Structure 1
Amino acid sequence: MSSPAQPEFHAEHRFYGELAPWWPLISPPEEYAEEAAFAAGLLAADGATTTVLELGSGGGHVASHLADRFRLTLVDLSEPMLQVSRALNPTADHHQGDMRTVRLDTQFDAVLIHDAIDYMTTEDDLRAAIETAYAHVRPGGIAVLVPDDVTEGFEQRTDHGGSDATDGRAARYLEWSWDPDPADTWTITSYTFVLRDANGSVETAHETHRLGLFPRDVWLRLLTEAGFAASAHNELPTGDDHPRTWFVGRRAE
């Protein structure tokens, strides 16, 4: 389940607005522990990482597993999602901004862009996000980018999940991803959410999101063109998860 803030379609998506408080029940923070541990290993590969900027941090669920190891600055386009993250990550600095254009006028030991990068549906948008990452990485620092899919490994799939709160609220979701046209650079993911409030009232919501899909070589080329020394790492899948390719860019000293 992805939790990015979506630049192009944000205004249409209730989930990143009025429904943002449901995110911790739809995809609980504890489900991100393994991915966050893998990310931490890449971010701190040289042992010199103290400060981390996450672009497209969403509800802060990945960040919640990194806060005890790094000093975090979190950027997301959706203010309601940032409010969720502030409650979960009170020690982190939070800023509203678009990963394609935001400039914080400071540099960090590392930059992380988790699956929010999926909302870059054109090569120009992906290039802009990578350039933002480069602008915020200190010389010798590292950037880690984690799309849900690359072209070579994409397959149609479905997923489902959700959880219950102690106050009686509960949420469930169904997610369905497919590629209408393999010749372009985007896919479709449709979500159905079933949300039960503490009084037992049930609401359903449906959203369709357009997500970017690019070959490995495009990722590596754009990272290199931005100035990074680029590499790709595969995360071994566990349980029902599908494997991801983690792209790493190292900025020269």
Structure 2
Amino acid sequence: MPKLYAELGAWWPLLSPPDEYVEEAAFFRGVLKEKGLPPAPALLELGCGGGSNAVHLKTLFDRVTLTDLSPQMLEVSRALNPDCEHLEGDMRTLRLGRAFGVVFVHDAIDYMTTLDDLRRALETAFVHCAPGGLALLVPDHVRETFRPGTEHGGTDGDGRALRYLEWTYDPDEEDTTYTVEYAYLLREGNGPARVEHDRHLCGLFPRAEWLRLLREAGFEPEIVGDPHGRDVFVARRPARSRRVAGPPA
């Protein structure tokens, strides 16, 4: 697991504060409203991270369940979303025995680095999606949209501050992964900053593979472009299906 989601998890709000998600979350809210939410909908987020999306989306739902593989990130999210259910789990294997009106997977889906990983995550989304419900999946890149690049940012907090440099590149265009390198400068109080390096390995697949795996899972998918140039996969679980999820939540 990358350092950012483990020993550096408590620094997450300074790297990616919730107010940076306002515009993006407004787009997701618009998509969900346009596609139609069921009465008294429930939301399941797979890979919720620090909960920065949920804090803006949860008012659409009667109940919200947030899951993540990282205990440290769940702790950050609980502080931000104490009104939501939090559960530790791997999106490839999670089985709650319940179904939800909406299943949301933000950029945590990027950590599916093989087609088998991605297939298993999409099956998890399907079995937790109520008949007639929606799954919303938001990878940072598909093969057709990938561009290398750099970003930087960070903020000051209460007695601590963080700055970062992010470098995204693809060292091998023939495989199904790309690399994101982070350099963090972390400072506490008035002391000197320390430096941490963190490497993230992410999955990269063509649109056609995404659509194929979504259909094989049982979804009826479509692609919606977002203001950041990403492919957002909106997948409907048919109201009648041979596959069986849990009772609607």
Report the equivalent of 2:172. 181
Q: Does residue 252 of structure 1 match 2:238?
A: yes
Q: Which of the residues 33, 36, 53 maps onto 1:46?
A: 36
Structure 2 counterparts to residues 177-216 of structure 1, below 5 A: 177-216=168-207
The DSSP-based 3-state class of the residue aligned with 1:192 is strand
Structure 1, gaps ≥5 residues long: 1-9, 238-242
Q: How far did residue 134 of structure 1 move?
A: 0.1
Q: Residue deviations 1:28-62, cap 9 Å, x none?
A: 11001111111222233213262110000001011
Q: Structure 2 CA distance, aligned partners of 1:140 and 1:95?
A: 25
Structure 2 counterparts to residues 1-253 of structure 1, below 5 A: 10=1, 13-44=2-33, 45-48=35-38, 50-70=41-61, 71-165=63-157, 167-237=158-228, 243-253=229-239
Q: Structure 2 CA distance, aligned partners of 1:34 and 1:218?
A: 29
Q: Structure 1 CA distance, aligned partners of 2:162 and 2:117?
A: 32
Q: Structure 1 CA distance, aligned partners of 2:177 and 2:195?
A: 26
**TM-score, L = length of structure 1:** 0.91
Identical pairs, percent: 55
Q: How far did residue 203 of structure 1 move?
A: 1.8
Report the equivalent of 2:242. none
Are the aligned partners of 1:102 and 1:132 in contact in 2 as well (CA < 8 Å)? Answer: yes
Q: Residue deviations 1:98-138, cap 9 Å, x none?
A: 00000111000000000000000100000000000000000
Q: Structure 1 CA distance, aligned partners of 2:129 and 2:191?
A: 47
**Would you say how many aligned residue pairs link Structure 1 and Structure 2?**
236
Are the aligned partners of 1:43 and 1:143 in contact in 2 as well (CA < 8 Å)? Answer: no
Q: How far did residue 67 of structure 1 move?
A: 2.0
Q: How far did residue 14 of structure 1 move?
A: 2.4
Are the aligned partners of 1:42 and 1:144 in contact in 2 as well (CA < 8 Å)? Answer: no
Structure 2, gaps ≥5 residues long: 240-249
Are the aligned partners of 2:37 and 2:101 in contact in 1 as well (CA < 8 Å)? Answer: no
Q: Structure 2 CA distance, aligned partners of 1:86 and 1:138?
A: 25
**TM-score, L = length of structure 2:** 0.92
